[in-house]
Amino acid sequence: MTTQSESHTRTLPFAKYAIEQIERFGLPAEPKSFELWYRYATGHDSLLNQAVNDAMSSPAGLTEADFDRLCASHGSSERAGSRLSAAATDLSGEITQVIGMIVAAAVSTEKYDRHLGDGLTGFKQTENYEALRPVVEALVVATREMESETRALEMQLQESKARAARLQHEVNTLRAEILMDSLTSVGNRQYFDDSLVSLVGEATRNDKAVSLLFADIDHFKSFNDRFGHQVGDQVLRLVAGLITNALRDGDVVGRYGGEEFGIILPGTPLADAKKTAERIRTAIMARDIKKRGGVGSFGRITISIGVAQFRKGETPVGLVERADACLYAAKRAGRNRVVGESDDEFEKPVE
């Protein structure tokens, strides 16, 4: 598990670089400026880095206008959040428009019903054929108008349905983007926290089991320092992929922070959760970290996992604390192992 000191040491150079660039170019010292330069320093977003490099290599250099454009096009959470808000507003407007169409159709139907009623009354009260002619003609006109309005409404509803479907897809895509960790392509911390609250609530209502795994890559800082951040990122992506492959539909994985992952297993008691954790551990231990091009290897990595099962009446925070304590026990017992709250390793006192 990443300690506060390790996280500080690993991330501080990125933060310093971000501040230096803000001062260098005289940019506003705002969160969006810090976020963009911090992401540039990590090198995780190749499209962002290329865009910044292109702007800096232009004859005019990187201007504040260029930077505003970069923030607008490459800002992560803020950009996705504003796009999500806009898409949701458009979808709401589309729904309002459909409701308006339905109301208009109801008014047209009511008007047509009145015409039919008047026509029926005319038929009952008139025996002369010539006298019925105006009544019939009026009904024919009303029927044609109703048919025309109905066809127009059908076309409008079809168009609106297509626009609403596109907007709903955009909303779903942007929501997923906001809740995804850009490096590993699994859920981010917000996604994990939201999912845990939801699944614990569901387990409480339905009296079902739910277990939580906390997994942490062993000696990741040393690996990162030895081979560099690019290789470290490769490891994080590999681990995230192997964890995902070991899970079922409905299970949840999120990057909790640094090299730590949280995994939620709904409907899974402790014994079965430990089997899943062991499957993850052995899959990761068996993988060789290949160098680019497949020539040579960086060696193997291992992972430690703590496992806890939700107890009725406790909070999600309580479950997290117990799973984290199990992870700490796995680290304390020598790493590269799974420890559940019922295991002897968890009960051993800290020496």
Domain termination residue (choose one: 178, 204, 229): 178
Does one domain contain both 72 and 199?
no
pLDDT in tens, 23-53: 888 887 777 788 888 888 887 667 778 888 8
Of 184-193, 252-261, 339-348, minimum mean pLDDT range: 339-348
12 in any annotated domain: yes
Domain termination residue (choose one: 76, 111, 134): 76
212 in any annotated domain: yes
Does one domain contain both 63 and 171?
no
Does one domain contain both 68 and 108?
no
pLDDT in tens, 69-94: 777 666 555 555 555 566 556 656 66
**C-beta neighbour count of 189 within 10 angstroms:** 15
Does one domain contain both 343 and 195?
yes
Q: What is the pTM of this model?
A: 0.58
Pairing of strands 297-300, 288-290: antiparallel
Q: Give the number of domains in the chain.
A: 3
HSE, CB side, 13 Å, CA atoms: give it for residue 296. 3
Helices 46-56, 31-42: inter-axial angle, 10-degree rounding = 110
pLDDT of residue 16: 85
Question: Strand, coil or helix: what is 58?
Answer: coil
Structural domain that includes position 88: 79-178
